[in-house]
Structure 1
Amino acid sequence: MPYPEGHKIKVRGKIIESAAQAFRTNGIRDISVPVIMKGAGLTHGGFYSHFENKDQLVVEACRYAISDTIALLQQAADQAKDVPKIHAIIQYYLSQEHRDRREIGCILPALSGEMSRSSDEVRQVFTQEVQRMIDFIADLAQLDTSKASALLSSMVGSLVLARSVHDSKLSDDLLAAGKQYAQTILVA
């Protein structure tokens, strides 16, 4: 019996979603195709009917994850009542929830350390996705690209450090310092 119309697209979407979650949590190098396929509820044998190689999947997962992060940040901005939308984004991005829920968090802190060793194709798409995040922040906060770049860099760096330390108080302090510094970027 043939699969229903749209089945292959739906399965591909499940694989991309599984990969984005796995890459956000563990990075690229430590995640194998069989682990990604298992996360999607599939066997690894079907991978190559959807993707040419793992790099192609990384590219699609990066695009998916940035779209997902922008949607989460937009939701935080839309719910802001008493503060400017950019302040709500800073608060969410540098929150304990975002720090602790890597599987749904921003992929930039998760993969930035691996990008210099990735293929040109992956690096090119990652670059485009970083630019998309900068543009989102610039548009939302009505900032020039330089300030939006500084703000994103500060937030990503703060989140990387907060996730890296094994001391919960220091981690919380790093998030708080990141929030404070992000505010100074806005008024500089």
Structure 2
Amino acid sequence: MPYSAEHKQQIRSRIVECARVLFNRKGFTEVSIDEIMASAKLTRGGFYNHFRTKEELFVEAVAAYQDFNPADRWPELNFDSGRCGAAFARQMVDVYLSREHLDDIEGHCPMIALPSDVARASPGVKHAYRGLLERMAGMFAQSADASADAHVARRHGLALAALCVGGMVLARTIEDDAFREEIRAATRATAHDLID
């Protein structure tokens, strides 16, 4: 009896999630198809029922983060997706720059975990990565002054996104915990200044 379309989608989603975690943990080049499939508790042969290449899976793993809900991963942060404007942007800054996000290597946003891998990847991966950045910048753009035109709001959103991502990339590379915290705190305070 053939598997249902729903079952196939569940398997595909499981492969994508396992790959996302492994890519975050080890980077694209250090993760094999065998390792991904073992993590998903599937055989290597099953991989090709869903993806042609590891890079195709990488595209989907990066793009999947667009549907990420911080409340699902870090409920203690009390993320409320119903907020809007500046209140939503401040909340995004606080969650993105949270200690929970920094310490959760497997849950990192691909913009933090994979920038070097993406820079060397195919146009499809770069397109998915850009989609994440565009989405984040768009959310931050909503916090721009109401009188700002679309160009100014976009610039505001991109600056906030770059600040948050850059702050977390730097904090992730530092072993000294006090310095990591100083980077996060400085980034958070400056981002809040830009929103307020």
Pairwise TM-score range, normalised by the shorter structure:
0.7 to 0.9
Q: TM-score, normalised by structure 2?
A: 0.84
For the 8 Å contact 1:77–1:89, the answer to whether it is kept is: no
- Matches of 1:132 and 1:43, distance apart in 2: 35
Counterpart CA distance in 2 for 1:124 and 1:27 is: 18
Contact 2:65-2:110 within 8 A present in 1 as well: yes
Q: Give the deviation of 1:185 after TM superposition.
A: 2.2
Give the C-alpha shift of residue 142 in structure 1: 4.6
2:124 to 121, 129, 134: 121
1:137–1:148 CA contact under 8 A, matched in 2: yes
Match of 1:67 in 2: 67
Over the matched positions of the two proteins, sequence identity in percent amounts to 31
For residues 161-180 of structure 1, the aligned pairs below 5 Å read 161-180=170-189
Q: How far off its partner does 1:5 sit?
A: 4.9
Conserved in 1, the CA contact under 8 Å of 2:144 and 2:156? no
Q: Distance in 1 between matches of 2:167 and 2:48?
A: 37
In structure 2, distance between residues paired with 1:35 and 1:95 = 30
- CA deviation string 1:65-90 (max 9, x = no partner): 2321xx2279624487xx82221211
Equivalent residue number for residue 54 of structure 1: 54
TM superposition outliers: structure 1 runs of 4+ over 6 Å: none
* Structure 2: gaps of 5 or more residues: 73-77, 146-152
TM-score by length of 1: 0.87
**Which residue of structure 2 aligns with residue 186 of structure 1?**
195
Cα deviation for residue 45 of structure 1 reads 1.9
Aligned-partner Cα distance in 1 for 2:7–2:81: 34
Cα distance in structure 2, aligned partners of 1:128 and 1:41? 30
Give the distance between the partners of 1:98 and 1:79, measured in 2 at CA: 21
Q: 1:92 offset after TM fit, Å?
A: 1.2
> Secondary structure of the equivalent of 1:159?
helix
* Residue in structure 1 matched with residue 150 of structure 2 by the alignment: none
**How far is 1:164 from its partner?**
0.5
Tell me which amino acid in the other structure corresponds to 1:182: A
Pair 38,58 (structure 1): closer, same or farther in 2 beyond 3 Å: same
Residue 34 of structure 1: how far off its partner (Å)? 1.3
Match of 1:130 in 2: 133
Structure 2 residue aligned with 1:95: 98
Is residue 167–residue 187 contact of structure 2 (8 Å, CA) maintained in 1? Answer: yes
How far did residue 18 of structure 1 move? 0.9
1:96-134 deviations in Å (ceiling 9; x for gaps): 110000211211111112222111221122222221221
Match of 2:3 in 1: 3
Counterpart code for 1:184: D
- Can you give the 5+ residue segments of structure 1 that lack an aligned partner in the other structure? none
Q: Distance in 2 between matches of 1:167 and 1:174?
A: 11
Distance in 1, Cα, partners of 2:36 & 2:25:
12
2:109 paired residue among 92, 99, 106: 106
